[in-house]
Amino acid sequence: MKNTPVRVLGIETSCDETGIAVYDSDNGLLGHHLYSQAAVHAEYGGVVPELASRDHIRKTLPLIHQVLSDCGIQGSDIDGVAYTAGPGLLGALMVGAAIGQSLAFGWQIPAIGVHHMEGHLLAPMLEDNPPVFPFVALLVSGGHTQLVEVTAIGEYELLGESLDDAAGEAFDKAAKMLDLPYPGGPQIARLATQGDPQRFRFPRPMTDRPGLDFSFSGLKTFTLNTVDKHTPADSPLPDEQTMADIACAFEEAVVDTLVIKCRRALQQTDMKRLIIAGGVSANLRLREQLETALAKIDAQVFYARNEFCTDNGAMIAYTGCQRLLAGQRDPLNIRVKARWPLHELPPLTSAAEVG
């Protein structure tokens, strides 16, 4: 077994995307590929776990072959395997873990199970001007909304989180109310560009009291009531302009709430750097509003390119590489976790080696 893995195969299968990548600690990202199951789940209006697992079984190995061949390398050129071990859908996670562990066993190299949210959190590190530690991270995905104080890889302190729906989940539910397909975030964002921001004002939940927790369920009810109120008796939905106005007001309310809490978190921790990660960090309005708000307090916002905001294999390959470099490995067990608090992760013992 090699001691210093440098070229890591990353496998992401926690939800409805099969993401594969190869990250090299000396040369960066060598290649990556994503297959989205969105079309498989579209008719159900959300992810169907059993269909997700079956599709990962079909797609993971062919995608690994494709990425290796795109990179011009073979299995024997890989030094370590990283797979998402949680949090996520158990069956879907099992597929990536079983394939990852089997490949590592066959190739006689180490394997490591990666925390999906740590992957998101570190995705901005794949960009040209990565943030330096310490910083505050806003994790906003379909399943999580968290503010985390990050001192180093593996050193995470939770500052606040959603008490109910995650921000992405709120986008998805609002989209459903407007009969827009899943995933709803990008759909709402697109429709919102046609909306009149003056027409409706939606609440900014929990911003009028101190603290860094979030709650989006009241905003969801407010959105539903607004949709109902403006739906004519002879139609299933409001008229097109009203739909766009609602999308706009909803997006503004979520973004404004996130911006207020991020600014508060930076002030509370006395930090000048914020990273945003997870699917909702692809939202253009969120990025713009944060840039404007943070410039006023002399702080900076960092995020990954769009394709690395949502689920992808590159963030798993990168994160696994850092942990493997620090000497961490997982035993030859297929252990996955549907729930897995970020703070349970061990710190990197030999952080000096991290490239």
Which residues of the shown chain bind ligand KG4 in the complex (CB under 6 A)?
Answer: 15, 120, 141-143, 168-169, 171-172, 183-186, 189, 278-280, 282-283, 310-311
CA atoms of 90 and 314, how far apart (whole Å):
21
Which range touches Zn ion (CB under 5 A), out of 29-37, 66-74, 307-315, 347-355?
307-315
Question: Among ligand KG4, Zn ion, none, what binds residue 282 when CB lies within 5 to 8 Å by partner kind?
Answer: ligand KG4
Read off the DSSP letter of residue 73.
Answer: -
In the sheet that holds 80-86, the strands lie side by side as 28-36, 17-24, 7-12, 80-86, 111-115
Which lies closer to ligand KG4 via its Cβ, residue 64 or residue 175? 175
Which range touches Zn ion (CB under 5 A), out of 67-75, 125-133, 280-288, 303-311?
303-311
CA atoms of 318 and 168, how far apart (whole Å):
24
The DSSP code sequence of 284-323 is: HHHHHHHHHHHHHTT-EEEE--GGGTSS-SHHHHHHHHHH
Which lies closer to ligand KG4 via its Cβ, residue 168 or residue 238? 168
Which lies closer to ligand KG4 via its Cβ, residue 125 or residue 282? 282
Instruction: Quote the least distance from Cβ 266 to ligand KG4, whole Å.
Output: 22
Which lies closer to ligand KG4 via its Cβ, residue 139 or residue 153? 139
Yes or no: say if 82 and 9 are a contact pair by the CB < 8 Å rule: yes
Q: Does 311 bind Zn ion (CB under 5 A)?
A: yes
Yes or no: say if 147 and 135 are a contact pair by the CB < 8 Å rule: no
Alpha carbon distances (Å) from 262 to 49, 235, 272: 33, 40, 11
Which lies closer to Zn ion via its Cβ, residue 18 or residue 141? 141
Instruction: Quote the least distance from Cβ 165 to ligand KG4, whole Å.
Output: 10
Give the pairing type, strands 273-277 and 135-140: parallel
Number of residues that bind Zn ion (CB under 5 A): 2
CA atoms of 11 and 251, how far apart (whole Å):
32
Write out the binding residues for Zn ion, residues 105-164 only, by CB under 5 A. 141
Question: Among ligand KG4, Zn ion, none, what binds residue 86 when CB lies within 5 to 8 Å by partner kind?
Answer: none
The residue type of 126 is L
Instruction: Using CB under 5 A, list all residues that contact Zn ion.
Output: 141, 311
